[in-house]
A and B are shown apart, each in its own frame.
Chain A
Amino acid sequence: MANKTTIKSDRAIPGLLFNNRGRWLEAPNWIDFFVDLGCALASSKEFTDENLFVAIAAPTRAFAANLIALGAVSRLSQTVSAKPSPDDHFNRISALKKGTVLQRIEKQKRYKCAFLGIETFQGTQCVKVAVNMGKNKVARLIPKNRCLDIILNGNEAIYEDKVTRKRNILERPEFTRHFVHPVCHTDFALEKRLDCKIIGKQNILKVEAKAEVLAVRSEDQFHKGTLNDILRIRELLSQDDPYRTQFLSSRNGDTYSATDNSPFLTIYDGANAYLKSDSANNCPVTAVVLDKTEPNFEIAAQNISDTFIKRRTGQIKLVLNYQAPQSVDILGFTEASK
């Protein structure tokens, strides 16, 4: 009898709104479910050392892969790949344009400040920032060894040489902050790291990612955003922009560039993407989103059932914050990492 691993979502993302033909409404359960499922998959390493395979059969594939990725990237943003050294962080700040708005942590509180440049004080290099003191602005020097107290605001952290370029990431820090843990915001804004790849029809995935269809509420305001604000899709960014997600075409049977690190999560969006997939995929987590109306749905579902019989080392239970829609079927198992 195979053992059963419980995978829990440890981070519900509350208060999502969606654009219902011009009206902003509370997101329906299915949206919350897919985001939450992504969070659960991203936290699976806390529950098992083995690889995880999850297949989802939904009444439509629309947005499902991107929403799962949203949950996963959001949850994985808590995992800082390597805590930046003060030196690295100092260098990042040094590269900023003067006047860039930053945040400074003091006594566990955040204060806005503006970057004024780098100065040497008593033989120590310091970051010079302007802070508000009542109605006045006062300059402060923050030594290099304490520069981790300065937080780059993600999208405000635009390097000087890129300011004039048209960017796909809009400045939506409030929206982003809803999904990304504040402590990790700097890394999220600056670090190039492939957390997730989605294999499927790129043109459709891109339109979904660019559509301003989600919003979050904070106090009295609500902040609109796109999936790409969080997913940071490599194909929608400039070459030097920090990415987290990559879209790959199923038509070409692409995998991912050999120079990249293997991402934590691979999502196959659609039966064809899965059926054409490279069986050598060795991501810690593989998710397959199947659309029940697709022509090859039954073949893919059969193939997945066969894979379950051949490769599973154990069964899984999902404990999520949102109930799975009745129309969604899920099969999942653990398998040995290759």
Chain B
Amino acid sequence: MTYIELAEACGVYECAERPKINRHRIAHNALATFAITLDRFMANHKEELEDDFWNPIVRLLKRRRYLMQAVPLSFEAIAASDSETFEKGKASLRRVQFVFPQLADEAQNLFNMCHRLSGLNDNPLGDLIQSNFLESEKSSNYSAILIRDSRWSHDIENSFGSDKRFRKLHVISPECLRAGTCYENIYCVGPAKWFPDHVFSSARSLSIHLYCYNWIKDRQSIPNPFRAGSVEVTTPKSSWTKRDSVISLVDSGRADERLIEAEDVIPTIDIPGIKKRIRETADTEDFAQEVQARLFVLEGNALVMLQTEGNSSHLVIDPLYWHDDDEGAEATVNKVLTSEIEPGMFVLIRSGGGGDYIEPIADEILGERAQDLRALQQHWKNLLKQRVKEVGIEEAISELKGLGSEKANNVNLGNWMSARSIKTRDYEDFEALMEFIGISEQCESFWIAAETIHSAHRSAGFSIRRALIDKISQTSIKDLQKTGSAEFSVGDSNEGSMLVLRVKTVVQDLFTVPESSLGKLLEGSEDLWR
């Protein structure tokens, strides 16, 4: 939700009133054959394909099929930016004849088709968009190509921009259509089902062109948002009107009879694969503190787990956050409860090296003392973990309470053992912990060390926040909206670099994950899609 001026709102209502939505059906024999053959292959061998062996192959084939139908670039250009997936798929294919000999020929055939297509310079989507754009060129000429996957926006802009006639074309994501900007034409790449309803029901253009291959089964209309119906609204001057809010999508070409569901073309997250990987990580860590987390699907198919327990929060940029002093152009970093993070917001994820991004900066603040202080911290945490392991959590809590800790409970004890927490809030709890692990005589020195680290972390947090806000203010929110991601570095070290990625989906299932896997991208996120 952002501030839209009254004049802009008038433009929005004008566009949304009666948008002309024209679906262009595109034919391409080789791609059609590949797309449909793959669809049948997956339908016929559903059970076999559930085996993890198939992941790299299915991922490659599905991904290529999707990109060729979703990105208005030549097939060759798409393949060139996706070579890693190709190599992984190719490597697995070599083993098919040993693992699944009965499927080897079909798989090889599909792979060959994909390979042949990947060598073609064909760009059916791009060619038609360009031709339509030139036909409808008008004086104001403020038009946009709408793509589902904004990772490709720079490549598309560069490709179209190489011809000066198309330099005025913007490349946008559906999120850009939440603002008040309206366009002369919107060239929407892919079937309507791939896009949120508001692209059509709250159109930001009087003219929307949908580009969809003719073997894809797409929706025919956008229904009334209120399933329960609608109210009759009439005026005394006009006759009774039953409002019909269903928006029709008109096909300009013929749809093929061999249809594939639009949703089936989109790669999906491999939830069991993710759970399996989490389990593997947890098994390799001693004393891993496990917490409840939610999975966020980010721009570029990246995945991240964020803690949901209690009042867990995370740094985000809400592009719709707006304050009186800005003009809607600058992003603002805010800490938001994990439960309130929603699609369209950008989450800040630490990157580069994996350590907590605050820690290196805090260590710089601590200077020469850093190593000793960290060692002290590590020492009592290790003792605590060891002792809890020996006596069990319930007994540990009971003992701590007996030693005067008022806040000893499951969650707090977990936090005190965790490397992410520096110290207890109250000295009484800390004193009880020290006594519990048998180093009560050193309690004060450990407390001072923890306080010093804590203070350095706080200063580091402030300095990162300031540095980040400075960086972010140099990037317009418009650019961020367009690309869906950006990387910001804090200081010179890689440890301080952060990724800013748009949340695409929040997976509803809750996961129990080791604390160490929170707040960082799941490694090999690309492999967790099929």
Contacts and interface: CB of A to CB of B under 8 A. Distances in A.
Contacts of A57: 225-226
Given A324-B243, A327-B202, A59 B12 contact: yes
B147 to A, nearest CB: 17
Contacts of B322: 201, 203-204
Q: Chain A's interface: helix, strand, loop or mixed, by majority?
A: mixed
B43 interface: no
Interface residues of A, number: 59
Interface in A82-137: none
A237 interface: no
Interface in A14-62: 18-21, 28, 30-31, 54-55, 57-62
Contacts of B5: 62, 211
Interface string B170-205: 000000011010000000000000001110011100
A329 interface: yes
Contacts of B229: 308, 331
A253 to B, nearest CB: 11
A320 B233 contact: yes
Interface stretch (B86-94, B234-242, B512-520): B234-242
A200 B14 CA distance: 25
Contacts of A200: 1
B227 interface: yes
A335 interface: no
Interface stretch (A146-154, A177-185, A228-236, A286-294): A286-294
B9 A60 contact: yes
Contacts of A301: 225-227
Given A291-B1, A325-B17, A320 B235 contact: yes
Interface stretch (A190-198, A277-285, A311-319): A311-319
A257 interface: no
Given A20-B10, A62-B9, A318 B234 contact: yes
A185 B210 CA distance: 54
Nearest to B506: A295
A57 B324 CA distance: 26
Contacts of A258: none
A62 B6 contact: yes
A329 B17 contact: no
| Residue from A270, A293, A294, A326 having most chain B Cβ neighbours under 10 A | A293
B233 A330 contact: yes
Interface in B241-259: 241, 243, 245
A304 interface: yes
B10 A292 contact: no
Task: List the 6 closest A-B pairs by CB distance, nearest first.
Answer: A59-B202, A327-B16, A59-B16, A62-B4, A305-B228, A62-B9
Interface of B: 1-10, 12-18, 177-178, 180, 196-198, 201-203, 224-236, 238, 241, 243, 245, 322-324, 342-344
